[in-house]
Amino acid sequence: MGIFDKFQALAANRRELETLGIDPFGVQIERIISPTEGLINGRHTILAGTNNYLGLTFDPECIAAARTALEFEGTGTTGSRMANGSYSGHRKLEQELAAFYEKRDAIVFSTGYQANLGLLAALVGPGDVVLLDADCHASIYDGCRLGGAETIRFRHNNAQDLAKRLRRLGARAADALIVVEGIYSMLGDHAPLQEIAAVKCEFGCYLMVDEAHSLGVLGERGRGLVEELDVMADADFIMGTFSKSLGSAGGFCVSNLVELDLIRYSSRPYIFTASPSPATIASTRSALRKLASGSQLRQRLHDNAKHLHAGLTALGYTLGAPPSPVVAVVIEGRIEALKFWKDLLHHGVYSNLMLPPVTPNGVSLIRCSVSAAHTTAQIDAVCAAFADLRLTV
């Protein structure tokens, strides 16, 4: 068997898409115009699948901060913090994140994916047990695999199932790590975090919450579902990414545990990769200040999410969850979803196509994500495109 034989199914898949004239995974945004508009296939398109929740990618202050960093600190760090040293911005951002969450310390990673990989691979190894919500992101699964811990999946958003599985572990439960997300990216549903935190406290184990999609989105100060549901004290590790609400790239983990700093020295995805560029760090710091300083953008985001959710519900679409910045539309059948995605693009709306096996319960989804930067007219235009297509399905 040759090394490329395993790609046969994938190659057949690619051929099928070519025959259908659809390439949802190779879209090129020829020109990015604003957080909510781009030029795709030569036409002006509303971007409704960016996860740019607060729309900060074109924020003048974030751009100015990045520009200054670029000018004074250069284009890149050219190495890892462990080998080549940290720039002052790396450490300042960590201190600002820790202060924002009112936690002891933070570690910044080069991407959100690496934050999960680095944290989990260092934290849980052979002999340890991790309990994952079944719908957790691939980076969480990969981190557990890299660490080599025993991984147990519990039913999505089911605290009773989690408790049952912890009970079976006996004395080992006290050292187990539970991993959940705040908002789940596929359907936009929230974790029952108070129930999960209660289970964590009952068994005396550890809890990690991935707030990639809820940082800047939920909570009075934008600190995610942990803040919204008042379980900040029970979350031993809070992970987040800079690539969504903060409009840049990178990831982080905050914690009150003194051991957090040791993770830095044992985390291969932290040690063996280049640190974020000065411009990335500078725009992230600027975006974090914005995120923390007011709730106007958050309010606008939620208004837009409700508007889109109500519009699509009125059209008779089946949606994945109650209103949330991720609005996932369930489409019956994989081919139908592919065609729907393409037609939506022809109507000037870019969305994300999500197909099995990455989706929960094998459903096919057209996933929209809403931004505070969307105008009401843009949300109406997205609804109008869905209305046109409703007539044809």
Helices (H), ranges, the chain: 8-20, 60-73, 81-84, 88-101, 112-123, 138-147, 159-168, 193-203, 225-228, 260-266, 268-271, 278-293, 296-314, 334-346, 376-390
CA distance 38 to 345: 12
Residue number, 139 or 304, with CB nearest to ligand PMP? 139
- Determine which residue in the list 52, 157, 243, 369 makes contact with ligand PMP, applying CB under 6 A: 243
Q: Which H/E stretch holds residue 364?
A: strand 364-369
Q: Per CB under 6 A, does 284 bind ligand PMP?
A: no
* Cβ at position 224, least distance to ligand PMP in Å: 12
CA distance 203 to 16: 49
Q: Per CB under 6 A, does 212 bind ligand PMP?
A: yes
Task: Print burial letters for 53-62: b (CB count within 10 Å at least 16), e (below 16).
Answer: bbbbbebeeb
- The question of whether 213 is a catalytic residue gets the answer yes
Interaction pattern, residues 124-163, with ligand PMP; x per rule: CB under 6 A? -------------x-x------------------------
Residue number, 163 or 228, with CB nearest to ligand PMP? 228
* 3-state SS, residue 51: coil
- Determine which residue in the list 94, 133, 181, 228 makes contact with ligand PMP, applying CB under 6 A: 181
- The question of whether 185 is a catalytic residue gets the answer yes
- Determine which residue in the list 113, 203, 206, 237 makes contact with ligand PMP, applying CB under 6 A: 113
Residue number, 368 or 385, with CB nearest to ligand PMP? 368
- CB under 8 Å to 199, separation ≥6 — which residues? 159, 162, 163, 166, 178
Q: Per CB under 6 A, does 111 bind ligand PMP?
A: yes
* Cβ at position 225, least distance to ligand PMP in Å: 12
Residue number, 213 or 339, with CB nearest to ligand PMP? 213
- Determine which residue in the list 185, 248, 286, 364 makes contact with ligand PMP, applying CB under 6 A: 185
CA distance 337 to 299: 31
H, E, C per residue of 123-142: HCCCCCEEEEECCCCHHHHH
Residue number, 243 or 284, with CB nearest to ligand PMP? 243
CA distance 82 to 102: 26
Q: Give catalytic residues, as residue numbers.
A: 185, 213, 244
Contact set with ligand PMP (CB under 6 A): 111-113, 116, 137, 139, 181, 185, 210, 212-213, 241, 243, 251
